[in-house]
Amino acid sequence: MEEIKKRGHLPIVVGGTGLYLRALLEGLFPGPERSEGLRERLRERATRRGSKYLLRILFRLDRAAAEKIHANDVPKLVRAIEVCLTLRSKMTELWNERGRDPLRGFRFLRLGLDPDRQVLYERINCRAEQMFEAGLIEETKTLLEKYGNAADPLSSLGYKQALRFIRGELTREQALQAAQQAHRNYAKRQMTWFRREPDVQWLRGFGDGERIQSEAVNCIGTALSAGFRG
């Protein structure tokens, strides 16, 4: 961000992951280094016993942290448990004690896309189908053969459902439908997250629409005129 600013340009951050945006703007506390051995054991238990098993562990370690993480979000559950066990303290207490290092020297304009929910779901379904047609199952087989069950991508959307097909737990059609449903649920959680973010200017539509692009440019121009450049 600073390097972009020094070159006289306006930094524009684009993405759909609320935690990454919050980490950029507000900072994260300096947690412990990764423990690959512990992570592998936790992922293996999630595979055998389900992600809710990890959630129950986290509830015992740090109830406040567990209440903020979705039961199916294995990476976040693993990291939260890792922090608690490694530092022998609740992650939420460490967050409050050590604080965060927010981004300074900038003012922010937050633009959010608010497309029609039904059209959004149709696009999600189509994208998931394209992923399967483009070789997702074959790619999942390759990852499984090369890295085993511990491969991080295998717990992510699409791969997770393709893996269930490979294991014979679902038919191809069932795996596709499960992937579509999982992506729709994720999109819903994203919208719920961003609805809680302050000062978002919502644009009704998709980012590939000319009207929305024009509205976004106008919003940026208005903000710059009001002195939003850092």
Q: What is the pTM of this model?
A: 0.70
pLDDT in tens, 22-44: 788 877 666 677 788 899 999 89
pLDDT at position 98 is: 59
pLDDT in tens, 123-153: 999 999 999 999 999 999 999 999 887 777 8
pLDDT at position 29 is: 65
Q: How confident is the model at residue 96 (pLDDT cuts 50, 70, 90)?
A: low
pLDDT at position 230 is: 46
Beta strands in 98-206 (DSSP E): 110-113, 200-203
How far is it, in rounded angstroms, from Cα 177 to Cα 163?
A: 14
| CATH classification for the domain delimited by 29-98, as one of 1.10.20.140, 3.30.1950.10, 1.10.3210.10, 3.10.20.30 | 1.10.20.140
| Mean pLDDT along residues 100-123 | 89
pLDDT at position 132 is: 97
pLDDT at position 175 is: 97
Burial class (CB within 10 angstroms; exposed 0-12, middle 13-18, buried 19+) of 91: buried
Alpha carbon distances (Å) from 6 to 3, 190, 226: 5, 32, 20
Domains of the chain by residue range:
29-98, 110-225
How far is it, in rounded angstroms, from Cα 202 to Cα 133?
A: 34
Q: Is the dihedral of CA 63, 38, 75, 100 positive or negative?
A: positive
The share of the chain scoring above pLDDT 70, in percent, equals: 93
pLDDT in tens, 200-218: 999 999 999 999 999 999 9
pLDDT in tens, 38-84: 999 998 999 899 999 999 999 999 998 898 888 888 888 998 999 88
| CATH classification for the domain delimited by 110-225, as one of 2.60.120.650, 3.20.20.60, 1.10.3470.10, 1.10.287.890 | 1.10.287.890
Q: Residue 219 in contact with residue 109, Cβ under 8 Å?
A: yes
